[in-house]
């Protein structure tokens, strides 16, 4: 019985030992599998972690780019705001300059209208009738007040009218030029004139001149005895020499010369009557009075036809009052500010 029990006990322990070995083997196998899985998981984790780090790096780079873009956007917005302020200021300066320029032009044109009205009224009160064109700044003298047709010499009977014109100009013009006597000038009158031109004009008819033909000449017999081939040869009869043809000159040159000579004679007479006119100066200290001739090249808009009335209107002397281009002090200040703004913009 004891031997049997001892044999059974050994078999029991052998089974337990085998079982423990099996369990240990399984444990080692599981441990190996776990180790392999852990290594694979660790490798995957490293890859994921590297991917995470790369993604984090990209995110941070994107954030940096976003911050840089935002900073640039803010800087651009600030620059745009600053430029808008400068542009608004520059636009305001330009609008002010345009408004001031328009005001200056309007004031000068208004002053010139007043000048022409004063001249016309003063001349009319002294018996000299003239016409004015306020838009062009012209005081117009018809040809028949001064000259004979085709002539540049002032008619003696019309000299008093021209002398009256000179006196009126000498009284009124100093109010509208630099350095003139302003003691008798209306309030608000300022220097506005660049020049006053005495302009000569003719109609567009051709200026005709003729060279007179010499009187007929009879051929006189020769003092030498005639020689004939026969006694029956006819005796020579007196013949008339052919007269020279009349020459007609249609050149505009004569009309140009005529208009210029007329303007020059009026110009000289004005200065002769009132030498003070020759002392008037514009803002550049240049002589105010001048003259020019245009021949038939500037007909009046209402006298473009071919009637004698149209021709008579175009035969005239004009006094053209040219406005100065000098700007006011206010416009000069605005111009300087605009230049400074442009300089800052550059």
Q: d(Cα 325, Cα 291) in Å, to the nearest integer?
A: 20
Q: d(Cα 235, Cα 159) in Å, to the nearest integer?
A: 65
Backbone φ, ψ for residue 293 (5° rounding): -125, 135
Looking at residues 275-302, what average pLDDT do you find?
A: 91
What confidence tens digit (pLDDT) does each residue in 303-322 have?
A: 898 898 888 888 899 999 99
7 or 296, which is more confident: 296
Angle formed by the axes of helices 252-273 and 159-172, nearest 10°: 60
What's the confidence (pLDDT) of residue 7?
Answer: 56
Q: Which of 329, 316, 274, 23 is nearest to 142 (CA)?
A: 316
Q: Please name the fold of domain 108-213+242-326.
A: 60s Ribosomal Protein L30; Chain: A; (3.30.1330)
Residue 212 scores a pLDDT above 50: no
Residue 339 scores a pLDDT above 90: no
What confidence tens digit (pLDDT) does each residue in 91-135 have?
A: 888 888 888 878 888 888 899 999 999 999 999 999 998 999 999
What's the confidence (pLDDT) of residue 179?
Answer: 75
What's the confidence (pLDDT) of residue 194?
Answer: 92
What confidence tens digit (pLDDT) does each residue in 42-87 have?
A: 888 888 888 888 888 899 899 999 999 999 999 999 999 988 888 8
Helical H runs in 274-326?
A: 308-314
Has this prediction a pTM greater than 0.85?
no
What's the confidence (pLDDT) of residue 164?
Answer: 94
What's the confidence (pLDDT) of residue 4?
Answer: 53
What's the confidence (pLDDT) of residue 235?
Answer: 46
Q: Calculate the average pLDDT of the chain.
A: 80
Under 8 Å between Cβ of 279 and 271: no
What confidence tens digit (pLDDT) does each residue in 274-288 have?
A: 999 999 998 888 999
Q: Which helix (H) or strand (E) holds 244?
A: none
């Amino acid at each position: 019985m004891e031997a049997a029990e001892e044999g059974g006990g050994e078999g029991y322990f052998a089974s337990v030992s085998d079982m423990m070995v099996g369990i240990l083997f399984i444990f080692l196998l599981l441990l190996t599998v776990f180790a392999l899985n852990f290594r694979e998981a660790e490798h995957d984790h490293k890859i994921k972690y590297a991917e995470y780090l790369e993604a984090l790096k990209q995110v941070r780079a994107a954030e940096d780019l976003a911050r840089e873009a935002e900073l640039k956007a803010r800087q651009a917005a600030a620059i745009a705001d600053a430029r808008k302020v400068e542009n608004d200021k520059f636009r305001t300066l330009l609008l002010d300059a345009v408004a001031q320029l328009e005001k200056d032009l309007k004031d000068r044109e208004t002053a010139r209208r007043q000048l022409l009205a004063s001249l016309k009224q003063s001349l009319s009160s002294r018996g000299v009738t003239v016409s004015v064109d306020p838009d062009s700044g012209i005081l117009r003298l018809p040809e028949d007040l001064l000259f004979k047709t085709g002539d540049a010499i002032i008619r003696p009977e019309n000299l008093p009218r021209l002398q009256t014109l000179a006196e009126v100009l000498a009284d009124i013009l100093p109010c509208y030029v630099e350095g003139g006597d302003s003691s008798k000038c209306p309030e608000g009158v300022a220097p506005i004139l660049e020049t006053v031109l005495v302009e000569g004009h003719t109609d567009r008819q051709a200026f005709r001149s003729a060279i007179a033909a010499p009187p007929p000449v009879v051929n006189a017999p020769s003092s030498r005895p005639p020689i004939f081939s026969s006694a029956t040869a006819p005796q020579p009869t007196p013949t008339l020499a052919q007269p020279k043809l009349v020459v007609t000159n249609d050149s505009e040159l004569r009309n140009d010369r005529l208009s210029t000579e007329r303007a020059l004679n009026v110009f000289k007479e004005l200065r002769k009557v009132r030498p003070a006119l020759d002392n008037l100066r514009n803002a550049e200290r240049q002589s105010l009075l001048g003259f020019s001739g245009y021949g038939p090249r500037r007909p009046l808009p209402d006298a473009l036809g071919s009637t004698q009335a149209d021709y008579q209107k175009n035969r005239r002397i004009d006094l053209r009052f040219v406005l100065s281009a000098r700007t006011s002090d206010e416009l000069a200040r605005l111009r300087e500010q605009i230049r400074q703004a442009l300089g800052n913009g550059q």
